Amino acid sequence: MEAIVGKMNEILWGPWFIYGILLIGLFFSIITRFLQVRHIKDMFVLMFKGEKSEKGISSFQAMSIALSGRVGTGNIAGTATAIGMGGPGAVFWMWAIAFIGAATAYVESTLAQIYKEEKDTEYRGGPAFYIEKGMGQKWFAVIFAVAALAAMLVLMPGVQSNAIATAVENAFSVDTWITGLIIVVLLGTIIIGGVKWIANAAQIIVPFMALAYILMAIVIISMNIKEVPAVFSLIFSSAFGAQEIFGGIVGSAIAWGVKRGIYSNEAGQGTGAHPAAAAEVSHPAKQGIVQAASVYIDTLLICSATAFMILFTGMYNVQDEKAAEGTDSYVYVGDFNKGGLTGDEQITFAKSIKEGAAYTQYAVDSSLPGFGGPFVAIALFFFAFTTIMAYYYIAETNVAYLFSGTTEKVVIWLAKFAILIAAFYGTIRTSDLAWAMGDVGLGLMVWINVIAILIIMKPAIVALKDYEKQKKEGKDPVFDPRKLGIKGADFWIDYNEKRKNK
């Protein structure tokens, strides 16, 4: 099983694909004239504007659901793994993919808004919808929807639940299967309530958990403030191979930084586009700009918080994954210790610490003894649990695309059971297999979605220019696809007619 999954990852995540994602993000940044810089003010103003209705959710709720998906175990365990396998330079490449990925997030989220539908008194949209309407290729849309269901219901929930169970076991000595049952009960309670329950839960949990985590990072940095110049120098020099110790693994720094960056912020994956479509806004570009901000929040704030806690305290190891068999793969061994070990005993102990959430735990413990385990366990619980919640929302949206009527309702219930089973199973399987399966699911979705948005990006660019034109005229931008020559956006024609008749 692990061999098959590993081979699929080699194909999906080849070097050319990783560099391709960087180039595509750069292309979108150029063609939008770096909207992620020009519209920073709008990002945060629009986040709290807009309305919610019986059919749609507010911009803040949409961003909260998207952040629920973006902010997960990738922000803690994923960032630590990127450092462990790519060195401190991987952090720079996570920042890079977030900066250029914000433009990608704008394109996919705006397309989701343009081509959304009103279905069963709710707004639905996402890659499957814009692939069919924008490309006119239903077969390709169906492939995405099926891949999304496989990823969201089977391949990816286990990554999140496994991280929760492992952290809780380490911190509180609770058996993983017990944690699994708790996850199933809580998750089941929320997803039975549908989209509105998920939106309401997300808008409460996400801001609280993000703020608490960032505050902890600020405390750790403050306690190690003299390390600021050294840490930033280490990140930038390692990113380009200028740092002697990590010079030989610059390729790994890029690969792991980009891969874990995409896993965390989801730009290009198409997941954030699903809740973006559900937002109640007067112009698609508004929600596209808000979703660009969510990429910044995820990586530049929360992933950076993890990276800084680890690097400021020296609680990390770095391995060369390409080291010859039988040789010592460790490029750097961190300051991990237990009971005052010294010399070879300390090095042996440090090497026994597996890359992942344990790095963050030891980082917090080194500054606040005894607090690391519980803090990481609680943070991981909230981060990963809300991500599974978002996975269900995305799965339900794709079920709504593929089916209708009684069949849709039956399949939605099957989806609820499937994600609960996958979440429980994730708590009792190995973390390596969980991450590998998650990478397969992510890779499939990124491949399909990126091809699609490259082909049908024009309406998103036209919408941005229209938004900016109306803003310059002092108007609150309102979208009319007929004036812009955008076809297939039938929802907006009906929406504008209803607004006129009010």
Which of 391, 438, 404, 413 lies closest to 153, judged by CA? 391
pLDDT digits (tens, 9 = 90+) for 476-488: 999 999 999 999 8
Q: How far apart are CA 231 and CA 363, in angstroms?
A: 14
Q: How far apart are CA 176 and CA 169, in angstroms?
A: 6
Q: How far apart are CA 135 and CA 306, in angstroms?
A: 40
Max mean pLDDT range (169-178, 202-211, 246-255): 169-178
H or E element: which one contains 247? none
- Helix (H, G, I), strand (E, B), or coil: what is residue 393? helix
- Helix (H, G, I), strand (E, B), or coil: what is residue 318? strand
pLDDT digits (tens, 9 = 90+) for 248-301: 677 888 888 887 787 677 777 788 899 899 888 999 999 999 999 988 888 889
Residue 51 reports pLDDT greater than 70: no
Residue 51 near residue 476 (C-beta atoms within 8 A):
no
pLDDT digits (tens, 9 = 90+) for 94-144: 999 899 989 999 999 999 999 999 887 788 999 999 999 999 999 999 999
DSSP states along 129-177: HHIIIII--HHHHHHHHHHHHHIIIIISHHHHHHHHHHHHHHHH---HH
Query: Hey, where are the domains in the chain?
Result: 2-157+222-322+430-500
Which of 400, 405, 444, 479 lies closest to 128, judged by CA? 400
Give the tokens for residue 55: 């059919």
Q: What is the dihedral angle through the alpha carbons of 237, 242, 244, 250, rounded to the nearest 10 degrees? A: 90
Mean pLDDT of 413-433: 87
| pTM, 2 dp | 0.88
| 300 secondary structure, DSSP code | I
pLDDT value of position 178: 95
Residues 6+ apart with CB under 8 A from 348: none
Start-to-end CA distance of the chain, whole Å, equals: 58
Residue 440 reports pLDDT greater than 90: no
